[in-house]
Structure formats: C-alpha cells, structure tokens
Amino acid sequence: MLDHEQVVVRSGRRSRLPVIVAVHSTALGPAAGGLRLWHYPDWRDGLTDALRLSAAMTAKFAVAGLPSGGGKAVVALPEGMVLDPDRRRDVLEDVADTVESLGGTYATGPDVGTGPDDMAVIGTTTRHVFCRPARLGGSGDSSPHTARGTLAALRAVSRRLYGTASLDGRRLAVAGLGRVGTELARLLAAEGAALTVTDVDQDKRKTGHELGADWVAPDEILAAPVDIVVPAALGSCLTRQSVTRLRCDAVVGPANNQLATPDVADLLHRRGVLWVPDYVASAGGVVHAVSVEVHRLSAEEARARVDAIEHTVTDLLTTADAQDLSPAQAATALVRQRLAAADPAGRSA
Ligand code: PPY
C-alpha cells in the first residue's frame, strides 16, 4: 500500500540524476523536510529512504505540535560520485524546479549532505525552502538547534532514569560527529559529561580529542559501557542484532530512522532499554526553522520551543508508563491521534 500522498521521481534536466520528492502527508499543513544528497548503491535505495524519511517527518511535526506535514527530498548519487561546484549547482537547480512544480505542497530544507548555502541556491528558484543563510532572510543552519533539542530530550531521560536533568558526570556514547553530533558532543562536554565518540571518518578523531572524549571504532560504539547511547549518524543502526549488544540504560539521539525495522522498538523495550523515538528527539531543527520562518517567532521564543522538547519527552514517558506502553508505542498513538484530529477521514493516519 502506498502510504504517501505524492511521490515524484524525475531525472534532473541538468544533472540527469534521480531527483526524488516524497510527500507523505499534508494533513497537518504543507509538507516540509530536508534534502538528502547522498550516495546509494541504486537510486531505488534513495527512493526507499525518501519514503521512510518523509513518513518520519509527518510524525516529527505531529509530536512537536506544529502545523506542517511530512516530506523529504533525496538526490541519489551513484557510489563514488564527487560533485564539483558546477554540477552541485545543477543538482540543486533540478531539485528547486521540482519543489517549485509542487506549488507549495512541499518545502525543502537541509538534511544529510546539504546546508544553508545549498538552500540559498535553491532559494533563487523557489520560495519553498527553509534554512537559507540569515543574510538572505532564512533561519540559517538548523544543526545547532537539532543538537539543542536532542539535549533537551536527554535531560528528560536523565531526570526519569537518574532523578536529575543535569548530564554532569553522565557517560554518553555519541555515534557520529557530523554537524549535529559534533555540536551535541560539545554541549555535553561543556556540561561535564564523560564522552565516548566515533565516526566513520578517521579525521574526526581530532574533534574527539578536542572534546576530551574517548574514541572507539564505529562498530564498537553501540556496545560501549555507558549510561546513554546517542545515535547521530545515518539511520538503521538499531538492528535485532546490534540491540543485543547494548550495555546502556537508554538510546536517545538525533539520527533519523534509527530502527532497521519497526519491531526493534519492542525488542529495546523488552530488554529494558529506554528508546526515545528519533522523530521526537531530533525535532529541534525543524521546530526552530518553522517557528522562525513560518510563525515569525523571535530567536528567543524559537529557542524556548526547542527546549520544550524536554517536556514533550517527559509527557511521552509518563503516558507510556501510565498506559503500559513503550515510548515508541505511546509516540505512535500520539501521532495517530493528532493526524486523525486534523483529518477525520483518516486519509493519512
Ligand atoms: C529533519 O528534521 O529531518 C529535516 O528534514 C530538517 C529540516 C529542517 C528545516 C526545515 C525542514 C527540514
């Protein structure tokens, strides 16, 4: 069954690369979600990613209480392809054409492989784009806000598990030192957390060193003996197999689509590992962008909305306990309820 309202797959007029836009649901409002510029063995893997990521955006907005729908764009690069600046511009203009052709049903933003400068290029063709640089009237880089929102989620979990929102002295393993992972690791280190980190890019060892963090190989991070594991890299890290190796109390991080398959959420719950769904913990970036660019809130108000993720997570954990559900089940129920309230016909539930 196709759960999505609309999926566009085009060969880019300039780049000849597959440009994919998946609009999962506009039940709560126009769809938004970032542009992922990434390598895939086959463009169909990019399509699969877009389908899953856009559905997660619907859930992300629903739980965050924002009137936006879920979408995502993916340009599937063949393995090993390096984009020179001209070719990159071609790709971005191809995406911009596709976004513009959707007439506001979908607005794009940054995701893995793209940032504010790319949004500036897209913004020359379409106004349906978030996170352009501030000098161009956008809300800028979303990654610090995603990091801050994840920290808020971690505080809620810490309070629940250890009776304090402070992460001072807490042991955390951050898997992935991209823009969000690095910023989050900085915030955690500044608060006095003891960090173990990794990245597939060995050059990031230096960043780890600067943070005073221990470095382990990527395939060891999930099994690190820490309080909380923080997935901050690409998705599908939580598999039936990897979950059996966890030695932590909780898994909470900003990476999208952490579960390889949905049943892994139950497995985590049965093993007594508290998992906050990725679409709850990672909402800071979109919450900030939409608050500033759509709702015209001040920087301070937008920040308060990001920090409110702490309350969202606390409420979720409380509801889950009261109803004897896992946090994932409680979050799914909340998403269903909010979509059904907006769209009683149930088109997008
Ligand atoms: C995400 O949160 O996964 C995103 O796609 C990032 C984003 C940020 C701002 C607007 C739209 C998407």
- With a 6 Å cutoff on the Cβ, whether 141 touches ligand 1 is no
Q: What is the pLDDT of residues 61-77, one digit of tens each?
A: 999 999 999 999 999 99
DSSP class of 244: T
DSSP alpha helix (H) spans, the chain: 43-64, 85-101, 116-122, 143-162, 179-190, 205-210, 240-243, 264-270, 278-281, 284-293, 299-307, 309-322, 327-342
- In degrees, rounded to 5, the angle at the alpha carbon of residue 348 between the alpha carbons of residues 343 and 349 is 90
Cα 63 to ligand 1 centre (Å): 14
pLDDT of 236 above 90: no
Query: Is residue 256 in contact with ligand 1, taking CB distance under 6 Å?
Result: yes
Pairwise CA distance, residues 88 & 90, whole Å: 5
Q: Whose CA is nearest to atom 8 of ligand 1?
A: 286
Ligand 1 centroid–CA 346 distance in Å is 25
* Ligand 1 mutation pick, 111, 150, 292, max ligand atoms within 8 A of CB: 111
Rounded to an integer, what distance in angstroms lies between the CA atom of residue 294 and that of residue 29? 11
pLDDT tens digits, 102-139: 999 999 999 999 999 999 999 999 999 999 999 999 99
**DSSP-derived secondary structure for 303-332:** HHHHHTHHHHHHHHHHHHHHTT--HHHHHH
83-104: average pLDDT = 98
Bridge partners of 18? 11
Buried-exposed string 293-313: b where 16+ CB fall within 10 A, e elsewhere: bbeebeeeebbebbbbbbebb
Phi and psi at 299, nearest 5°, equal -55, -40
Q: CA 260, CA 237: separation in Å to the nearest integer?
A: 7
Q: Tell me what ipTM this predicted complex has.
A: 0.95
- Residue 320 corresponds to which amino acid? A
pLDDT of residue 345 exceeding 80 = no
- Is residue 119 helix, strand or coil? helix
Mean pLDDT, the chain, integer: 96
The residues assigned a catalytic role are: 72
Cβ atoms of residues 268 and 258 within 8 Å: no
Contacts of 86 (CB under 8 A, 6+ apart): none
In short, whether 327's Cβ falls inside 6 Å of ligand 1 is: no
Residue 1 pLDDT > 90: no
pLDDT greater than 70 at residue 154: yes
d(CA 45, CA 270): 31
Share of the chain above pLDDT 90, in %: 96
For residue 139, give the ligand 1 atom closest to its CA. Answer: 9
Residue 172 has pLDDT above 60, yes or no: yes
- Taking the centre of ligand 1 as the mean of its atom positions, its distance from the CA of residue 126, in whole angstroms, is 17
* Sole residue written with tokens 């940054």: 110
Residue of the nearest CA to atom 6 in ligand 1?
34
Is the CB of residue 30 below 6 angstroms from any atom belonging to ligand 1? Answer: no
Q: Does the beta carbon of 111 sit less than 6 angstroms from any atom of ligand 1?
A: yes
Ligand 1 neighbourhood includes 149 CB (under 6 angstroms): no
3-state secondary structure of 271: coil
Select from 286, 290, 295, 309 the residue to mutate for testing ligand 1; criterion: most ligand atoms less than 8 Å from CB.
286
Question: What is the distance in A from the centroid of ligand 1 to the CA of 244?
Answer: 31
Q: Please, which residues bridge with residue 214 across strands?
A: 196
DSSP-derived letter for residue 195 is: E
**Across 228-248, average pLDDT:** 94
Q: Please check the confidence at residue 346 and state whether its pLDDT lies above 70.
A: no
Q: Are 108 and 63 in contact (CB under 8 A)?
A: no
Residue-range domains of the chain with CATH? 6-55+69-136 (3.40.50.10860), 143-282+315-333 (3.40.50.720)
Helices 309-322 and 327-342: crossing angle, nearest 10°?
110
- The torsion region of residue 104 among left (phi > 0), alpha (psi -120 to 50) and beta comes to left
Query: pLDDT-derived band of residue 344, with 50, 70 and 90 as boundaries?
Result: low
**For residue 35, how far is its CA from the centre of ligand 1 (angstroms)?**
8
**Cα-flanking dihedrals φ and ψ of residue 19, to 5°?**
-105, 120
| Ligand 1 center to 73 CA (angstroms) | 10
Does the beta carbon of 144 sit less than 6 angstroms from any atom of ligand 1?
Answer: no
Ligand 1 pocket residue status of 289, Cβ below 6 Å: yes
pLDDT of residue 349: 45
Amino acid code (one letter) for 331: A
32 close to ligand 1 (CB < 6 Angstrom) = yes
Q: Cα(53) to centroid of ligand 1, in Å?
A: 10
| H or E element, residue 38 | strand 35-40
